[in-house]
Structure 1
Amino acid sequence: MLIAGKKFLVTGAGNGMGREVTLELLKRGASVIGVDINDGFLKETTLLAGAKSSQLFTVKLDITDRKAVAELASKHQDLDGLVNVAGIIQPFVRVNDLDIAAADRVMNINFFGPLNLIKAFLPNLLNRPEAHILNVSSMGSYAPVPGQTIYGASKAALNLLTEGIRSELSETNVKLTLVWPGAIGTNISQNSGVSIAGADSAETSKMKVTSAVEAGRMMVDAIEHGQKRIYIGGDAKFMGRLARWSQDTAAKLIHKNLKNLLG
């Protein structure tokens, strides 16, 4: 898909990967509807857009609010691309210790949020000459992370949702990209309202992370080149290969390195 002249909606546009995708799309000549639950973050993104801010329309939106999502879709029937980036992690505890309300929140934002947007915008996307949907999943969707089981489950559900819709739309002009990021330099813990004990330890500080800027560039490249699936970061690619070879080995490796965070 040629990015220039197209209109995209990006969730989580207020910071992290969502912000960087937004800025990269603007840089390549697209117009963007940037949505986020935090209006202050959206104002920061607008400032960073600089001269391109005239092509950015920001909306404070709770993606779990189906009525609000439907109303937004009714106002933007000429959308060419939907980029689902917004997501949260869970409190870093075992399922046995996780409050069910926290589990509901993770599923509602990470799975039902993208589904709400897809359901609202897909009828119009199907009428465009070409259109694209990109969903951001996680390395945790294929390699279990202790203390992030519900988060991983929400992203695993997003994996199959993406693959299923791709199959259903295989004879249409709507293309789909599924993204598996590894460790990315964002504030997802803080934005999720999650405090992770031990996250600043010497061991975790040595983890190699991919910058949000690089992640944003790779995602826009994937849309432009029609890539179906991409890994972001060597860690995501390595664990993807390992999990396909031996799920047990992948699980043991992650458990060994992260079990200290559970106490």
Structure 2
Amino acid sequence: MSKIILITGGSSGIGKSIGEYLTLKGHTVYGTSRNPERISDSKFPLVALDVRNRESIQNAVAEIIKKSGRIDVVINNAGVGITGPLEEIPTSEIKNNFETNFFGPIEVMKAVLPQMRSQKSGLIINITSIAGYMGLPYRSVYSASKGALELITEALRMEVKEFGIHITNVAPGDFATNIASGRFHAPLIKGSAYEKPYGNTLKMMDEHVNSGSNPNEMAIAIHKIIETPVPKVHYKVGVFMQKFSIVLKRILPDKVYEKMLMNHYKL
């Protein structure tokens, strides 16, 4: 059955791939962009939405309900990356990252839950990250914002289950998207105590994204979840070793796992 689907951050990257795939599958998809008028090649309609602005979120949700009468699926995909030594990341950038990656999805969920309760049905899919399962060096803020969204999802799904609403997390690994160009990089400071290790780690992170998986894998995974009557709490999408790293964290002693990560990043 065709569903009305809202995808935040649907103008590029993973969100765009998901939107195009779900459109091909016969669903009515609304993507979002802060400036939809600048996007000329979208294969599905885009509505104006800035996840850092509560009024913008409420207006976008109201517009979709007015046009389609309901919202069946919400995919909280909008997010930004951030890298740097925690000591050198401006606090304003840390707050901005949480506004986008954590508080934004919360406001989107608050905006759609009344409609889903009235429908007695709905599905919310929060796009998190495998990085949200572990503290990664020079990605501390990103790991924290995505990990926080994972835990919010775990709690909220229990609160809304009685209303026929399902909520789940999907944690992707590295995918070949433009996230590296859009993330905030704390600048490499000449003479900083972190100059060499951060520079090497930053180079490695960019290489991982550039050689990442095809975003269509995420689109296929999201479609399967939408077709699942009772989704699981967590899904992971990525190459085997990225997903297996979560298993290792669960079974290895903390210091052994930490040493494994430091060896990986050559720290």
TM-score of the pair, normalised by structure 2: 0.84
The one-character-per-residue Cα deviations of 1:89-122 (angstroms, maximum 9, x if unpaired) are 11x2111111101101110000011011001111
- Does residue 76 of structure 2 align to residue 79 of structure 1? no
Assess if the C-alpha contact under 8 Å between 1:20 and 1:212 holds in 2.
Answer: yes
Determine if the alignment matches structure 1 residue 230 to structure 2 residue 221: no
In 2, the alpha carbon distance for the partners of 1:24 and 1:205 equals 24
8 Å contact kept, 1:13–1:42:
no
**Structure whose CA Rg is larger:** 2
Q: State the one-letter code of the partner of 1:158.
A: L
The partner residue of 1:187 within 171, 175, 178 is: 178
**Cα RMSD (Å):** 2.4
Q: Deviations over 1:21-70 (max 9, x none)?
A: 111111111111100235377433x2xx3xxxxxx321232111001111
Matched, 1:134 2:140: no
Asked whether 1:212 is paired with 2:215, we answer: yes
Count residues with an aligned counterpart. 247
Instruction: Assess if the C-alpha contact under 8 Å between 1:183 and 1:235 holds in 2.
Output: no
Given candidates 66, 89, 97, the residue that maps to 2:81 is: 89
Q: Deviations over 1:142-162 (max 9, x none)?
A: 121101101111011101110
Residue of structure 1 in register with 2:9 after alignment: 12
In the other structure, the counterpart of 2:224 is 221
Whether the aligned pair in 1 keeps the contact of 2:120 and 2:164 (CA below 8 Å) is yes
- How far the C-alpha of 1:192 sits from its partner, in A, is 2.2
Moved more, 217-226 or 6-15: 217-226
Deviates more, 1:160-169 or 1:227-236: 227-236
Alignment of 1:25-64 (within 5 A): 25-39=22-36, 42-44=39-41, 46=42, 49=43, 56-64=44-52
SS at match of 2:131: helix
Question: In structure 2, what is the Cα distance between the partners aligned to 1:32 and 1:203?
Answer: 31
The verdict on how the C-alpha distance between 1:157 and 1:201 changes in structure 2, with shifts beyond 3 A counting, is closer
In structure 2, C-alpha distance between the alignment counterparts of 1:205 and 1:174, rounded to whole Å: 36
Of 230, 254, 257 in structure 2, the residue corresponding to residue 250 of structure 1 is 257
Gaps of 5+ in 1: 50-55
Identity %: 26
Say if 2:48 and 2:56, in contact at 8 Å, map to a contact too. Answer: no
CA 254–221 in structure 1, closer or farther in 2 if over 3 Å, else same: same
Tell me the TM-score normalised to structure 1 length: 0.85
Question: Which secondary structure state, in structure 2, belongs to the residue aligned with residue 25 of structure 1?
Answer: helix
Give the match's secondary structure for 2:163: coil
Contact 1:182/1:235, CA 8 A, preserved across alignment: no
1:124-174 CA deviation, whole Å, 9 max, x = no partner? 011224310000111111121101101111011101110111111122211
Contact 1:143 1:250 in 2 (8 A): no
Instruction: State the SS of the aligned residue for 2:5.
Output: strand
**Cα drift, residue 259 of structure 1:** 4.9
| Separation in structure 2 between the aligned mates of residue 202 and residue 127 of structure 1, nearest angstrom | 44
Helix, strand or coil at the partner of 1:34? strand
1:240: which partner in 2? 246
1:67 to 45, 51, 55: 55
Asked whether the equivalents of residues 15 and 41 of structure 1 are also in contact (C-alpha less than 8 Å), the reply is no
Counterpart Cα distance in 1 of 2:38 and 2:155: 33
- Distance in 2, Cα, partners of 1:142 & 1:16: 22
Residue 181 of structure 1 aligns to which amino acid in structure 2? Answer: P
